[in-house]
Amino acid sequence: MNNSLETEHVQCLIIGSGPAGYTAAIYAARADLKPVLYTGMEAGGQLTQTTDVDNFPGYPNGVMGPEMMEDFRKQAERFGTDIRFGYVSSVDFSSTPHRVVVDEIKTITADTVIISTGATAKWLGLPSEQKYNGFGVSACAVCDGFFFKGQDIAIVGAGDTAAEEATYLAKLCKKVYMLVRRDEFRASKAMVHRVLNTPNIEVIYNSEATEVLGNGKNVTGIKVLNNQTGAEQELAVEGFFVAIGHQPNTAIFKDWLDMDETGYLKTIPGSTKTNVEGVFACGDVQDHYYRQAVTAAGSGCMAALDAERYLAAKEAV
């Protein structure tokens, strides 16, 4: 913990600027909590990495991800949220008010802290995967599967999420190639059973995608290596889904907050309360199951209401 002399006190500190953080800010600002929000390194969150968002209510013609997050920001600002670029480098939740260090130099004390630091999708790390991200490459079947209706796609991954996403995509797409790195799945037996009994999913074991092929605009195929024989083949697909997991952004909270085995923050069911009083968590950082902008926004609203009621109850004592 940095002991910088530059200390500021706030009623409500929001960490993160995705749909959860900005929605929390809108509600907290309108409740006069005078929230301060730190954007982190990815101002606007995960949706700034994508192109079309077609499933967020209120945009009948769809919207580009970065544009939608700009709308969120403007709405949070309109009610007086103090939005600042900076990242939270450490926290100390041992006493109240809670202490938070920003950019390793500035200490803030806060009556309430709303954590909305999200989760980061894991990628294979291929340059071509990055090039076509949002143009045929995706890390979210529920978000982007619809764009590939009736087409052929490939998905990489072998866990429960990959199996679930493959069966979801199989309902929309003509053909789903599922690339599994080893000669078996990591998913539960029930999920593997579902995959193997879906006629339009073809599982290719011992396989690794080595390149995403495209025409400069969109994905047209992938190169696949058999890691046992060294043989390479090309699959003609219009979409490539990477389902190898997400990393919740929670490293700085590990000494203070309860987490599950993969690092997602635990909240008291039906609320956004963590195990520390006055600290709330919302959005993907506490939700590995739904992982949608609208659910993140919904829980951001809950976090602001939980914070407001916590402060009101403290005042009443």
Tell which one of 10, 12, 20, 279 touches ligand FAD (CB under 6 A).
20
Residue 95: alpha-carbon gap to chain centroid: 29
Does 173 qualify as catalytic in the annotation?
no
Nearest to 246 by CA among 170, 185, 161, 144: 161
Of 52, 71, 82, 140, the active-site residue reads 140
- How far is the C-alpha of 293 from the C-alpha of 302, rounded, in Å? 14
Q: Which residues contact 97 (CB under 8 A, 6 or more apart)?
A: 9, 109, 110, 111
Least separation in angstroms between residue 223's CB and ligand FAD is 22
Phi and psi based region of residue 184 (left: phi greater than 0; alpha: psi -120 to 50; beta: remaining): beta
Number of C-beta neighbours around residue 131 at 10 A: 15
Residue range at the interface with ligand FAD (CB under 6 A); choices 18-26, 171-179, 218-226, 259-267: 18-26
* Tokens linked to 287: 């939700």
Tell which one of 50, 112, 207, 267 touches ligand FAD (CB under 6 A).
50
| Contact in structure between 44 and 69 (CB atoms under 8 Å) | yes
Of 12, 111, 143, 284, the active-site residue reads 143
Taking CB under 6 A as the rule, which mask of x and - marks residues 98-127 in contact with ligand FAD?
------------------xxx--x------
Residues in region 71-90 near ligand FAD by CB under 6 A: 87-88
Tell which one of 10, 15, 28, 187 touches ligand FAD (CB under 6 A).
15
Helices (H) and strands (E) in the chain, counts: 7, 19
Does 282 qualify as catalytic in the annotation?
no
Which residues are catalytic, by number?
Answer: 140, 143-144
User: Site residues (CB under 6 A) for ligand FAD?
Assistant: 15-21, 38-43, 45-47, 49-50, 53, 55-56, 87-88, 116-118, 121, 138-140, 143, 249, 252, 283-285, 291-294, 296
